[in-house]
Structures are given as C-alpha cells and as structure tokens.
Amino acid sequence: MKSLVTGAAGFVGSHLVEQLLERGDEVVAVEREGASRGWLRGLDVDFHDCGLHSPQRLRSAMRGVRVVYHLAALTEARRPRDCYAVNTVGTANVVQAAADSAGAPPRIVFMSSLAAVGPARPGQLLDGDSIPMPLSHYGRSKLQAEAILHVYADRVPAVICRFPAVYGPRDRAVLKLFQMVSHGVAFTVGPWHRKVSLVYVMDAVAGLVNAGESPHAPGRTYCIAHPTPATWGEFVTAVALVLDRNPRRFALSMGAARAVAVAAEAVGLMRRRAAILNRDRVRELAQANWVCDVAAAMGELSYDPRYPLLSGVGRTADWLRREQWL
C-alpha cells in the first residue's frame, strides 16, 4: 500500500514512517519547504519538501496514495495567524488535493488535539462528541481544520484522531522536563494534582495506523491515549524514578506564569521566533482536567495501547541516555 505522511520528519511523523515502512508500505514523506530529511535520513521514502501551501503540488505527491496521515502542524507560533495559516489553511489544501485526486480519493487520517475541544468539566471525560470550547489559537485552528474535514465528508473519507500530550524518543518538548529533573528541579504552572491523559509515541502511532485501516473509522472522531490518566505530579514522579532523582518541585502561580508568558512573547517577537511560553499555553496548563475517553478507539479501531506511564517514561529515558541528550 502507498501512504503519505505530512510532517513526516518530525517527532511523531518519523516514528509513523518507520512503522509504515516496516509493514511494507511505499511511503511518500511531505515536509515544509526547504526542510531537511531529519529523522528520515537513510530511509527509503519519496521525499517532497512542498509544504502544505500548494494543493497542486500536494495532489501530485498523492498520486496512487491510499491513506494520507496528516500530522504537519504548528503547535507554537510567533503570531496567531501563523497557526491558522498552517493548521487550518494547510489542512484545507490537503483535503482539496485529496478531493481533486484522479480516481478514488485517499482516506485522510488527521492528527488533531484535545486542545481543539478544550478541557473536560470536573468528573467528566472528553470524547469525540464533546462540545468544543478551545482555549487557545492553536486549539481553535485545529477545530477549524476538523470542520473542513466535515465539509468535505461527502467527497473525502476522513478520520479525526484527537491526542493529548504525546511523549517519547525524539521529543524535544519532553526533553526539557527530563533535563530539569536530572538537575534536581521540576517546575509546573498551576497545581501538581491536575489530571491529564498521556500517550507514548508508539501507542500514538498504533492509533493512527489503525485509523487508516479500520472500516468503521471514516466520518468518526476518536480520542487516542493511554486509558489510565495521571496527575502531572505523577508524571514527574515517574521521570524522577527512572532518572534516580528527587527533584525540588516548584509551582508557579497563575499571576507569575502570565508575567513570564508576556515577557517570553515579547522576546519571541524581537527574535522572530515562537515564545517558549505564551498566555494561551498558560491558560491551558492551568486547567484541572485534560482527561479523555478512549473506549471508542479501543472498540472500533481495535486500539490496544501497550505502554503505561512508567514503561513509556523508562523507554524515553533509555533513548535520551543512549543518544546523549541527557
């Protein structure tokens, strides 16, 4: 089978490409214009650095493709409009290219986010039918991308997969936490007891692959995560355990976090790069419940997550040490 992956050289995308190659797929890799092959270096892929901004070039890359795994996205942006340009307009171009394909259009598996729906109310779980109330430009841009897939539903079969935080080897976001803990400190915004769903990268990849294969999936929205949530404090405890550290923990108040975010945004504007922390992100981090229900994915997609928290964190730490990132 021939598959196409956007954002193929990134953290999740590169793991997905490796899994598709391992099962025998012919893989087309799409990355932003001028991007290097990164983690794809040495892999047998048809590499296109056409980005998401030309439906014509995307349509050419999709020739003969059965499934498009659309992962490319901006999670951090210097300006809000950049989020919409990539996450919303870029998705519209991918879907338009699929609709214009010769013959039957490919299935699109869209990697969305829990940010598109917003946090759950106390005592509740997020699922594919939750009423969306995103808190950030990133979340709103992903929700608008989902809406585009619904508009094209009669022309392009699509599956929406909403993910919580994905962690594992090659992830530079989680690297910051491992580095802090290795140096004996850990910081958070808001309370340590806030509850989150998490997913190890190989479980995330399994969910995407299953969504590309299941006959039940088109037209549906699934949450993909490990079924056992954790508090943020428990996640840090797992990192500390595998690193054999006992970090001092600090929780920034909301006022302090917002002040840091404002300063970081100003620095980002001066340096013409995305801020390491922004007010949208602080608003999301402060929420008490980012837990989702994966029952539909486990039932309809035969999704079988295999890496509970301590196992996934341990595998991540092993990789970080082996690659000398720690």
What are the structure tokens assigned to 126, written together? 């997020």
Backbone angles phi, psi at 157, to 5 degrees: -70, 130
Q: Name 111's Cβ contacts closer than 8 Å, sequence gap at least 6.
A: 7, 12, 69, 70, 71, 73, 161, 163, 208
Strand partners, 192: none
In terms of Cβ atoms closer than 10 Å to its own Cβ (0-12, 13-18, 19+), residue 174 is: buried
Cβ-based neighbour number of residue 30 at 10 Å? 30
Helix (H, G, I), strand (E, B) or coil at 251: strand
In terms of Cβ atoms closer than 10 Å to its own Cβ (0-12, 13-18, 19+), residue 103 is: exposed
In the block, tokens 């999936």 appear at 217
CA 177 – CA 152 distance, rounded (Å): 40
- Catalytic annotation, residues: 138
Cβ-based neighbour number of residue 183 at 10 Å? 10
Instruction: Say if CB 111 and CB 163 are below 8 A apart.
Output: yes
CA 235 – CA 287 distance, rounded (Å): 16
